[in-house]
Amino acid sequence: MSGVALFAHQFRYDQKAFWRNPASVFFTVMFPVILLLIFATVFGDQTVEVRGGIKTTAYYVPAIITLSVISATMQSLAMSLVIAREDGRLKRGRGTPMPAWVFISGRIGNSAVVALLMLALIAAIGRVLYGVAIPWGQLPEIVLTLLVGAAAFCCLGIALTAAIPSQDAAAPIVNALLLPLYFLSGVFIPDDQLPSGVIHFADFFPIRHFFEAFFAVYDPGNAGASMQWGQLAIVAIWGVAGLLISIRRFRWTPRGG
Amino acid sequence: MADPVISVRGLRKSYGELEAVRGIDLEVQAGEVFAFLGPNGAGKTTTVEILEGYRKRNGGEVTVLGEDPEHGDRGWRERIGMVLQSCRLDPYLTVRESLALYAGYYRAPRPVDEVIELVGLASKADARTGSLSGGQQRRLDVGMALVGDPELLFLDEPTTGFDPSARRQAWETIAGLRDLGKTVFLTTHYMDEAQHLADRVTIIARGAIVASGTPADLGQRESLPTTISYRLDGEDVAFETRTPVAALHELTGRAVEQGLELEGLEVTRPNLEDIYLSLTEEQAE
């Protein structure tokens, strides 16, 4: 098989395994939807001051898409790769003629497709339930921003596996990293309610910058906004750091025995 | 004779201070089932992982299918299949899908349905692997190793932790590999498994080879002492002898003279399990 055919082959089975796994479907697909419904119900009638007085729901739609992308990439990859590593599947795969990149790219392809799907799903729910307009005119900028973020967070997810010693440790470590950063980066709480010190702290990490970049091109009140290259550059630097760590530290063999 | 499929000379491997493999020699010929037998921690898995290309060695020469496993390329991997000591397959794929996924990695795979038949999982072909019993999962493991139609198969402790019926099933599958003309390198810590499946057995203990041969002549069973035991006046008596016929004649002669009955009189030859234990224990001391 050619490289493309090998990738397509791997991708097809990764998709099957993803959609049949209740945990991956719940945390990657259902959980962001539930969060959007909760936030919209609780804070729905308020407005967000610093963003030019937009409705809270218009704030949460891009915020939850940001979370969905990180969840489909960094979180999903870190979890599923650690599970496959500790189950011995990565080691076994290395014993076949399949090149390593096929395995990794199949997973990355899976993450990218799920991230795009979540963009469509959350945007549609936002439009139908809360009347949050879908900025069709900005679609190229939205997709490009999303893909840069997805690539960077995939690299970070693969890098993170090096710090996770066992299957049991995967969920606590991933959540302990991501959940506080979602709060501090304004994904869960509109940033007009966060102290500026918190925002400065979050500015060090990539989630805040990805959110800013994505919000700028998605915000319906911001028609004609161009790509936020500065913000994306910081996200990309984190991604490259993740890539370098992955190349040096990624393991194919189980760590537990 | 054709070149051996596996040839090992003076293989050494250390982990820090610990010498896991201390200069072993091995040769495996095409088409044979070779058992590498030893207790836990003897160096079996280290050796097999070096042969599979997963580990680097500290010394010695190793050739597997004409190549050094440390530099095994894609073409080399096409020719070997392996069952790892522990590997859980993706529980959300079915038996057929798991095999089809792996078949896609090889240039000339064996047809998936044929492999399913071969490992006796036809009735489970569309079941998810997570729902299989331990014995069925192991047979699928063997199927995954077979689907690329390799010349050489590595099976690392394929029945450890199995109940007797699951082990029996796995044995049948492994015995079937011989009929396919595959060369099989099997590691195990069960003497009966080696005896049942292998053409040749090599025993390793503490990183060194202590015995090698066919299961029948392993450990020179013929030359080992025979044990004679009986009960006399409520006391157990047992002794070892290399001339059991004469010893028995003398013993029973005296008993008949004195009108004694020797309760529970037994003459026992050491079985393979005893030989294995004595070989691996001697080494441990």
10-residue averages of pLDDT along chain B (285 residues) = 88 92 94 92 91 94 95 93 89 96 95 93 95 89 93 90 82 86 92 89 91 77 78 85 88 88 84 74 55
Q: Do A91 and B54 make contact, defined as CB atoms within 8 angstroms? A: yes
ipTM of the complex: 0.89
Q: Do B148 and A97 make contact, defined as CB atoms within 8 angstroms? A: yes
- For chain A, positions 1-20, list CB contacts with chain B under 8 A: 1, 6, 9-10, 13, 16-17, 20
- For chain B, positions 227-246, list CB contacts with chain A under 8 A: none
- Check if B54 contacts A (Cβ < 8 Å): yes
Where does chain A show beta strands of DSSP type E? 47-48, 54-55
Task: Please report how the helices A167-184 and A139-160 are oriented relative to each other, as an axis angle in degrees rounded to 10.
Answer: 140
- Check if A87 contacts B (Cβ < 8 Å): yes
Please give the pLDDT value at position B221: 62
Task: Please report how the helices A100-130 and A56-70 are oriented relative to each other, as an axis angle in degrees rounded to 10.
Answer: 170
What SS3 class is residue A251? coil
pLDDT in tens, A82-127: 999 999 999 999 999 999 899 999 999 999 999 999 999 999 999 9
Cβ-contact A213, A145 below 8 angstroms:
yes
- Residue A15 reports pLDDT greater than 90: yes
- Check if A255 contacts B (Cβ < 8 Å): no
Mean pLDDT (whole number) for A133-155? 94
Q: Do B92 and A92 make contact, defined as CB atoms within 8 angstroms? A: no
Domain spans in chain A, listed from the N-terminal domain onward: 3-249
- Check if B177 contacts A (Cβ < 8 Å): no
**Residue A168, token pair as written in the block:** 């049991």
Mutant choice from B55, B78, B90, B185 vs A, greatest count of A C-beta within 10 A: B90
**Looking at chain B, which residue has its C-alpha nearest residue A21?**
B92
Please give the pLDDT value at position A224: 66
Please give the pLDDT value at position B223: 67
Q: How far is CA B260 from CA A111, B253, B255, B264, in A?
A: 84, 10, 5, 13
Please give the pLDDT value at position B285: 44
pTM over 0.90: no
Task: Please enumerate in sequence order all residues whose Cβ is within 8 A of that of B283, keeping only pairs 6 or more positions apart, or say none.
Answer: B205, B206, B208, B210
Q: How far is CA B9 from CA B22, B59, B199, in A?
A: 11, 9, 21
Minimum distance, in Å, between the CA of residue B273 and any CA atom of chain A? 28
Centre a 10 Å sphere on the Cβ of residue B257 and count the other Cβ atoms it contains: 8
Please give the pLDDT value at position B227: 87
Please give the pLDDT value at position B110: 95
- Check if A47 contacts B (Cβ < 8 Å): no
Partners of A87 on chain B (C-beta within 8 Å) are 87-89
Q: Do B84 and A92 make contact, defined as CB atoms within 8 angstroms? A: yes
Task: Please enumerate in sequence order all residues whose Cβ is within 8 A of that of A107, keeping only pairs 6 or more positions apart, or say none.
Answer: A14, A77, A80, A81
- Residue A222 reports pLDDT greater than 80: no
Please give the pLDDT value at position A3: 86
Do strands B18-28 and B183-188 pair parallel, antiparallel, or not at all (unpaired)?
unpaired
- Check if B93 contacts A (Cβ < 8 Å): yes
Lowest mean pLDDT among A19-33, A42-56, B15-29: A42-56
Give B215's DSSP letter: T
Where does B162-234 show beta strands of DSSP type E? 183-188, 200-205, 208-213, 226-232
Minimum distance, in Å, between the CA of residue A74 and any CA atom of chain B? 20
Cβ-contact B136, B89 below 8 angstroms:
no
- For chain A, positions 91-120, list CB contacts with chain B under 8 A: 91-92, 94-99
Q: How far is CA B217 from CA A90, A152, A206, B195, B269, in A?
A: 40, 62, 68, 11, 14
Minimum distance, in Å, between the CA of residue A13 and any CA atom of chain B? 7
Q: Do A9 and B107 make contact, defined as CB atoms within 8 angstroms? A: no
Lowest mean pLDDT among A148-157, A170-179, B154-163, B176-185: B154-163
Q: Do B97 and A98 make contact, defined as CB atoms within 8 angstroms? A: no
- What is the rounded distance in angstroms from the CA atom of residue B165 to the CA atom of residue B163? 6
**Residue A12, token pair as written in the block:** 């097809």
Please give the pLDDT value at position A1: 63
**Looking at chain A, which residue has its C-alpha nearest residue B129?**
A17
Class of domain B6-213: alpha beta
- Residue A20 reports pLDDT greater than 90: yes
Domain spans in chain B, listed from the N-terminal domain onward: 6-213, 225-269
Mutant choice from A79, A92, A107, A251 vs B, greatest count of B C-beta within 10 A: A92
